[in-house]
Amino acid sequence: MPPVASPSILVLPSPFFSDSDTIRLLESPDCDTDWVLRQVVSGAYDKPFVIDDGATRTLHFSLSLIQSSMSLKDPFRLELDYTQAMMSFLLFLHRPKNILMLGLGGGSLAKFCYRHVGSARISVVEIDPRVIAFRDEFELPRDDARLLVIEGDGADEVIRSGQAEDKPDVIMMDAFDRHGLSGSVSSTHFYKTVYDALAGRGVMVANLAGEKNDRIEHLAMIADVFDDRVLSIMLPDGNDIVLAFRAPGFDPRWREIANQAKALRARTGLDFPKFAERLERSRRLRYL
């Protein structure tokens, strides 16, 4: 069977901002461009698209929400606060060997880990082939011995990983569609499969966004499955970053973590001391 051709990417002048901006769409060159752009503006367009303003390239499922953002000057930099905060797992697990990511988006986290997290193997599962089709637009490296992008359901891949001999040290969950958190990751059963899939000292990192009640519900499920070994960072933009730890003896040594945070800041440029302070505060508040 011949290989399936990748969807074509149509580049048009953006209808939103300055004349120099462009919008990138998974459409054929002979489509009705006026109709497509009207669909995007009205919110009826049901495919991911990319807006480029000459300095930043952003992935959207709708105009109201940015799913991923990339600086054209520094494509490997983490632009969004929530992606930076998700990297705080490095405060507790310095040299992960195996990272599983649920949700690709623009590949920001995959690229950052590829550059900064030693020789870790990174597997990224994305259910929507239309998101994967934009990987070159976001300068995600080609698949190799360290990086693999898989088209499939993240929940199924978690189960498969749990049956493998080399279990993930880190599972990063950023699994959203245009309606919010994907349904396949929205149950206590799912979080139990994550717990079972992690290596002995493994960490789950989850980005919880959307309605407050939904975030509270997910946090309660995570705390139940991980026996309250949970830390969190609440961000002003409405994202909650949750770290959950598999090891029953989890007992963070905050002075050592503070020193590690300074070293990580020097190496990566991210404000790890701020993350450490917020995580320690969340630990104290949970036990007052």
With residue 125 as reference, give the H or E element that holds it: strand 121-126
**Burial (0-12, 13-18, 19+ Cβ within 10 Å), 215:** buried
Residue from 63, 16, 48, 66 nearest 237 by CA: 66
Residue 245 CA to residue 236 CA, distance in Å, equals 24
Helix (H, G, I), strand (E, B) or coil at 2: coil
C-alpha distances (whole Å) from 71 to each of 68, 76, 111, 127 are: 10, 8, 13, 25
Residue type, 109: L
Of 128, 174, 227, 237, catalytic: 174
Question: Does 240 participate in catalysis according to the annotation?
Answer: no
- The pairing of strands 170-173 and 176-177 is unpaired
Instruction: Detail the DSSP E strand segments found in 127-190.
Output: 147-151, 170-173, 176-177, 180-181
Which residues face 171 on adjacent strands? 100, 204
> DSSP class of residue 94?
S
> Which of the residues are catalytic?
174
